[in-house]
Chains A and B, each alone.
Chain A
Amino acid sequence: DAKTTQPNSMESNEEEPVHLPCNHSTISGTDYIHWYRQLPSQGPEYVIHGLTSNVNNRMASLAIAEDRKSSTLILHRATLRDAAVYYCILRGYSGGSNYKLTFGKGTLLTVNP
């Protein structure tokens, strides 16, 4: 499985934007970039995913580098509820759905009031 690299932890202030980086230099052409987050005492929660183009949804934006070797999850205005572990995951597809998500240790985001 292609590997991702994320900082162990990051800190932000409430109501400020947060940029969470992820490196995936061995990404293949069929790998989608997925982001999940895990709040304390909960299961992971889907945030966003993309292939080549930047993506926006109600939770966040995903900026993907032109060579696809890195990406950045952007939370436009952090709230205390955004404090969580954020996982960047490559999800490969080869003729069918792939439910094997390979999680790393993720980035622990702390949001200060």
Chain B
Amino acid sequence: DAGVTQSPTHLIKTRGQQVTLRCSPKSGHDTVSWYQQALGQGPQFIFQYYEEEERQRGNFPDRFSGHQFPNYSSELNVNALLLGDSALYLCASSWGQGLGNTGELFFGEGSRLTVL
């Protein structure tokens, strides 16, 4: 059973460019959330998707946007890249939005973005 898979694993972009990161949730999961982890810091919540809609959002600008597809996979898009966007981007999946799910989130290994 594959866990959460993310692509690409590493990528390099220049300031002002746009990037798309992809995530496939664990089998049976319908909810995807995205986190940004700067070097030496804990992950920070960006947003969460369920039923193809953004349900919760952290303190990130509109340059960060996302999408969820009918098969529950998700994309994270970042426009007008800044040097400060260099980070590890993590995708986490779970199930049961709205059901008071208290269980665990399953994280992927992340996509390492470097902005030059």
Binding site for B on A (CB under 8 A): 32, 34, 41-46, 49, 51, 85, 87, 91, 93, 95-106
Interface size of B as a range: 20 to 34
Q: How far is the CA of A14 from the CA of B16 in the complex (A)?
A: 48
Does B99 have its Cβ within 8 Å of any Cβ on chain A? yes
Q: How far is the CA of A49 from the CA of B100 in the complex (A)?
A: 14
Binding site for A on B (CB under 8 A): 4, 31, 33, 35, 40-45, 48, 55-56, 58, 90, 92, 94, 96-110
Q: Are A96 and B102 in contact (CB under 8 A)?
A: no
Q: Are A99 and B42 in contact (CB under 8 A)?
A: no
Q: List 27 A-B contacts (CB under 8 A).
A: A34-B104, A43-B4, A44-B43, A44-B90, A44-B92, A44-B107, A45-B107, A46-B105, A51-B102, A87-B42, A93-B100, A96-B100, A97-B96, A97-B97, A97-B98, A97-B100, A98-B56, A99-B31, A99-B33, A99-B45, A99-B48, A99-B92, A101-B35, A103-B44, A104-B42, A105-B41, A106-B42
